[in-house]
Chains A and B, each alone.
Chain A
């Protein structure tokens, strides 16, 4: 059997996707389903005085109207209990749901939605994170002092998150420095940008349960949240996750699922809630916008002595899953550089905007854009080459992280060197062309995940995992490869059962670059168990020792004598019908760090860190400020690539998402907190905006994941903006301190030079 793991393998889900056969949530046909429509607040901040549904309920075809008056009054709990399903009584962003309607047809549901009369007392909104921190700013949550929260969470006036990392004597270091450089930055909020709008279908079941069809990143935790909210038995709530049309962190929290469930329970009938792009945009969990301030103290030879950095992030109306952005940013601000004296803080601020979420690499593009731009200005102030400056300060093996974690397998220098070489560092360029470089470290995540590998009576192999396939191939491609490798079969022949809570096994969800890591560990353990059982049965059947038996193409046979063998089918039958191996991701303890260096920081120790460098070449038109990116090279230490083509796909896609953050993507709010949620205003990069991309994998095998892998998906989106900004500096001497770096902002920076 040829090697499977580590080789380029066609995705088993590719043929269905290329022929239109793959089923996404909106493609699920549900007999007799009603259409569900959500009624949304048009105000950034308002007190809902009254929701009058009488007229709507009387309209033809209307089967259910859900609102605060007839749904559970409990608060949703994401660490701070600051949110309800429907306003009680405050609606805190444009688009916040105030009611939902189900009717026989979509047209009837829309007519009923329009007939719901909501009386609002309109309040003055807070639309800027820094403005929200002013002592006289209106309170986004007037009753915040009464909120329950999980221990360790920070809750203050208009603030729902804060952390700080401090080491050394920063003041003394700044006094002793040859040079101090300061920079300020502004980040615009952004969309996850998945192409499949949110959708859900729900059907009440005769046993009092509920079945949900959806496209979630985390169907198991969603099921538990939904069951708890509606007081249903979790085991009777079934989430049948479909293939997901892109997620990027935007599909971790439930959205349409809530309303499909509420309306199905109320009407007793199946309900589908399908959102248009516009509605999806009104219910978006965006990438955080915000501000950053950096100051660095440096010796004239380029040695970094100290850094102060402060991030203020606009997290919108509710905490949701927005906390990671602040925690990760403070870990990135000084890394991967040896800076002995640090004072870094990050604050998460409530505003009357959409609930910012953990969009692919939360905080990564923002913090790395700011940090790498700032350090470029330090290097330029000293007249040093940016690569040389980075290599002078970059971590070495056994250096410590900002929070005192001892680092092993540090490959940052290798990524810097190879990226610089690939982009042609130092070679001459035409006028207005430039090259830039940016680097980072990142974490892997090992979360709870279970798997089952079955050899069935017909000899076929089934792999069941609770992990969802969101597009990366982590589930659909890597998991069958891992099982196939252990069982000596073709991965294409494996039946894969994913993320159906009734028949798959628990998984904590897609996030934190942790799918192949966690679900992969679980599948590897389950496949190992199945293999051992197969070998034990084969020992008896073949009268040979397990060491002398090999598994190949669905048979167990004596090594060197393939004719002396027995099929999986025979072995499964002999075992009473099937052989089942179960496994789970072994829990890996977090590396030690120095807790005295942190304040209210719940993510100060990073498992299996990876190292990544991106280099970019750009051409700037000084007349218009337009930036054309000619090439992006990313070198990433992935530890090990189960399917190298999949890892390369993550880097290429990440490069262009990073380019979008850098140059075009901006969720624009007006002065009333209304936003423009359509693709005609929000500019995702197109095929002509995207440059040639070179993805280089380093496989140090030093990760703690299966086969030595590390998390792959997030790092490559975090480095392009810094590299592009620095390439613009190289080309024309200045670059905007604000994302996206639109032609206007580049032009203005040039005028201010």
Chain B
């Protein structure tokens, strides 16, 4: 068993895990953050996508120990401290970028990561960036429209390229 310090959505958590315990189980079972979903457990569907230091990973495969002392952002951590939704979330709501909602947390987290890296992607770039996130309901068109709308909104708010998620207030690296 291995002690690990996680900074999840700005909050510090100390957990003790099996050496290969995937981050997904730690988030869902140990921390009660069930917004992140388990769709395939093999890294093919992307429903479990979270950000580790701003980069999207499949939490079902990512070992918890590799997130030690790093920033983890989940769907629960995308909204601002005052509860204002991230523009990607608002866009998915307004542009019908979701139906059953099961792929949505991972999809939104991937889309937020894309917009931090590429603030003005075209439809093709969005499709490429989200190709690791399966959606069975929407046919992807409304998702692409949602991400385009979110990109314009972030631009209008002067937040283009802003990294998503809350930062930990106090953070120490070894």
CB contact between B38 and one of A21, A26, A649, A655 (< 8 Å): that residue: A26
Q: Identify the stretch in A308-316, A341-349, A470-478 within 8 Å (CB) of chain B at 4 or more residues.
A: A470-478
Q: Does chain B have a CB within 8 A of A622?
A: no
Choose among A15, A20, A656, A690 the residue with the greatest number of B CB atoms under 10 Å from its CB.
Answer: A20
Compute how far the CA of A196 lies from the CA of B137 in the bound complex, rounded to whole angstroms.
12
User: A687–B98 contact, CB under 8 A?
Assistant: no
Compute how far the CA of A332 lies from the CA of B93 in the bound complex, rounded to whole angstroms.
37
Q: Does chain A have a CB within 8 A of B52?
A: no
CB distance from A12 to the nearest CB of B (A): 10
Q: Identify the stretch in A38-46, A137-145, A456-464, A676-684 within 8 Å (CB) of chain B at 4 or more residues.
A: A676-684
A5-32 to B contact mask, C-beta < 8 Å, 1/0: 0000011011111111111101101000
A-B contacts counted at CB < 8 A amount to 164
Compute how far the CA of A448 lies from the CA of B45 in the bound complex, rounded to whole angstroms.
36
User: A657–B136 contact, CB under 8 A?
Assistant: yes
User: A687–B130 contact, CB under 8 A?
Assistant: yes
Task: Give the secondary structure class of A's interface.
Answer: loop
CB distance from B139 to the nearest CB of A (A): 4
Compute how far the CA of A155 lies from the CA of B158 in the bound complex, rounded to whole angstroms.
68
User: B101–A13 contact, CB under 8 A?
Assistant: yes
CB contact between A690 and one of B33, B45, B90, B141 (< 8 Å): that residue: B141
User: B100–A678 contact, CB under 8 A?
Assistant: no
CB distance from B59 to the nearest CB of A (A): 13
Contact flag A20-B36 (CB < 8 Å), given A13-B101, A684-B134: yes
A541-555 to B contact mask, C-beta < 8 Å, 1/0: 000000000000000
Q: Does chain A have a CB within 8 A of B37?
A: yes
Residues of A within 8 A of B126 (CB): 687
User: A652–B141 contact, CB under 8 A?
Assistant: yes
Contact flag A21-B35 (CB < 8 Å), given A470-B100, A679-B44: yes
Task: Give the secondary structure class of B's interface.
Answer: loop
CB distance from B168 to the nearest CB of A (A): 19
User: B144–A27 contact, CB under 8 A?
Assistant: no
CB distance from B161 to the nearest CB of A (A): 22
User: A277–B41 contact, CB under 8 A?
Assistant: yes
User: B36–A196 contact, CB under 8 A?
Assistant: no
B30-46 to A contact mask, C-beta < 8 Å, 1/0: 00111111111110110
Residues of B within 8 A of A276 (CB): 38, 40-41
User: A11–B96 contact, CB under 8 A?
Assistant: yes
Residues of A within 8 A of B12 (CB): none
Interface size band for B:
35 or more
Residues of B within 8 A of A22 (CB): 101
B51-84 to A contact mask, C-beta < 8 Å, 1/0: 0000000000000000000000011101100000
Q: Does chain B have a CB within 8 A of A654?
A: yes
Contact flag A195-B98 (CB < 8 Å), given A20-B34, A679-B45, A684-B136: no
Compute how far the CA of A15 lies from the CA of B90 in the bound complex, rounded to whole angstroms.
8
Compute how far the CA of A655 lies from the CA of B142 in the bound complex, rounded to whole angstroms.
13
B129-168 to A contact mask, C-beta < 8 Å, 1/0: 0111111111111111000000000000000000000000
Q: Does chain B have a CB within 8 A of A197?
A: yes
Residue of A nearest to B34 (CB): A27
Q: Does chain A have a CB within 8 A of B105?
A: yes
CB contact between A652 and one of B37, B104, B138 (< 8 Å): that residue: B138
User: A197–B39 contact, CB under 8 A?
Assistant: yes
User: B98–A679 contact, CB under 8 A?
Assistant: no
Q: Does chain B have a CB within 8 A of A688?
A: yes
CB interface residues, A 255-283, toward B, < 8 Å: 276-278
A470-488 to B contact mask, C-beta < 8 Å, 1/0: 1111000000000000000
User: B92–A20 contact, CB under 8 A?
Assistant: no
User: A17–B127 contact, CB under 8 A?
Assistant: no
CB contact between A14 and one of B33, B93, B103, B127 (< 8 Å): that residue: B93
User: B37–A195 contact, CB under 8 A?
Assistant: yes
Q: Does chain A have a CB within 8 A of B99?
A: yes
Q: Does chain B have a CB within 8 A of A61?
A: no
18 A-B contacts (beta carbon < 8 Å): A14-B96, A18-B92, A19-B79, A20-B35, A20-B76, A21-B35, A194-B136, A195-B100, A196-B37, A197-B39, A244-B100, A246-B99, A246-B102, A277-B41, A277-B42, A278-B42, A652-B139, A653-B99
A residues with CB within 8 A of B = 10-11, 13-24, 26-27, 29, 193-197, 243-248, 276-278, 470-473, 645-646, 648-649, 652-657, 678-680, 684, 686-688, 690, 692-693
Q: Which 3 residue pairs across A and B have the least CB separation, nearest first? A: A20-B35, A471-B100, A245-B102
